[in-house]
């Protein structure tokens, strides 16, 4: 199995780096990830995309943590750092809870906008659009500090260039243990993890293209009213 950066987080990293570039490199961008040793690679990628420093909360048990535990650790780290903005993905691809960003905001007492698809900064005032259903968007304005959760399509995440990958090797990655961030007890536990049952009638067709085409046309004629 190959592991890579959560897709939603790529948009979060990209937006933070773009803001840094727009403001002449002045903002200091920290990337934080909680997980086993392998998330070190994800942190290195974010550093190669343009983040200034990394924080790796080394937690081999991260996949069994609930969103409350993950958010509590992030908030504990951010609490006394005076970040103007915290960018997160709107959800993870593996858990998809969409809870961590708003929970971090609640713990820190910061305003939060989720599902951000457009972002503009003007001297501490942020103008945003968030995505609703059916392509509808809603506009917001707020003053920093704030937590924003990023939706796909917010920008086009860059691929790190070779020189930037080399440069990233010199950037600092701080290692922390969950205990140092006051890991709380879980509020929910995962009791089972399994592959889903397939729909009873689901049919899997394999073979050469010509015979597949014939079988599919026969099935559509038999099972649907759309082919005459």
Partner 1 sequence: MKALLIGECRGGQVLDATWELFGYAAQACAEPLLFMVGTKEAVAGAGVRVLLADASKQGEYNPEAHKLLILEAIRRESPDQIVFMHSSYGWDLAPRVAAALGVAQSSEVIGIAEGGFELCACNAKMRRTVVPTTAKIVVTLQGGAFQGQKPAGSTEIQDLDVEASSRLEFLGYEEPEKKDVNLATAEIIVSAGRGVGKKDNVQIIEALAKALGGELGASRPVVDSGWVAQSHQVGTTGQTVAPKLYVACGISGAIQHLAGMRKSEFILAINKDKDAPIGEVADVLVVADLLQFVPALTAKLGR
CA 192 to chain centre: 24
Minimum Å gap between C-beta 122 and partner 1 is 14
Measured from the CB of residue 219, what is the shortest distance to partner 1 in angstroms? Answer: 6
Among all chains, which residue has been given the structure tokens 């343009």?
50
* Shortest distance, position 175 Cβ to partner 1, whole Å: 27
Distances (CA, A) of 223 to 35, 121, 213, 216, 227: 48, 54, 15, 10, 9
Provide the minimum distance between the beta carbon of 31 and partner 1 in the complex, in angstroms, as a whole number: 22
- Burial class for 99, CB neighbours closer than 10 Å (0-12, 13-18, 19+): middle
The number of beta carbons lying within 10 Å of the beta carbon of residue 126 is 23
Q: Is the Cβ of residue 28 or residue 106 nearer to partner 1 in the bound state? A: 106
Q: How open is the CA angle 178-19-135, to the nearest 5 degrees? A: 90
By beta-carbon proximity to partner 1, the closer residue of 135 and 163 is 135
Task: Report the residue number, 51 or 116, with the smaller CB distance to partner 1.
Answer: 116
Q: Smallest gap, in angstroms, from Cβ of residue 25 to partner 1?
A: 28
By C-beta, is 166 or 220 nearer to partner 1?
220
Instruction: Quote the CA–CA distance of 3 and 1 in Å, as a whole number.
Output: 7
**Is 163 or 202 the residue whose CB approaches partner 1 more closely?**
202
């Amino acid at each position: 199995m190959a592991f890579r950066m959560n897709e939603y987080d790529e948009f979060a990293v990209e937006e933070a780096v773009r803001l840094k570039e727009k403001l002449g490199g002045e903002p200091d961008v920290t990337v934080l990830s909680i997980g086993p040793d392998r998330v070190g690679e994800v942190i290195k990628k974010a550093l190669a995309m343009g983040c200034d420093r990394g924080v790796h909360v080394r937690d081999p048990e991260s996949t069994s943590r609930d969103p409350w535990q993950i958010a509590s650790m992030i908030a504990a780290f951010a609490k006394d750092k005076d970040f103007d903005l915290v960018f997160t993905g709107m959800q993870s691809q593996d858990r998809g809870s969409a809870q961590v960003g708003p929970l971090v905001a609640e713990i820190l007492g910061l305003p939060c906008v989720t599902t951000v698809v457009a972002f503009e900064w003007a001297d501490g005032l942020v103008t945003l659009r968030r995505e609703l259903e059916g392509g509808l968007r809603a506009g917001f304005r707020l003053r920093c500090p704030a937590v924003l959760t990023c939706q796909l399509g917010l920008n086009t995440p860059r691929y790190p260039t070779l020189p930037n990958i080399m440069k990233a090797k010199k950037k600092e990655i701080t290692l922390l243990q969950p205990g140092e961030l006051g890991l709380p007890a879980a509020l929910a536990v995962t009791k089972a993890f399994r592959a889903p049952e397939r729909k009873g009638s689901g049919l899997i067709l394999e073979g050469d293209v010509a015979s597949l085409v014939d079988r599919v046309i026969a099935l559509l004629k038999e099972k649907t009213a759309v082919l005459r």
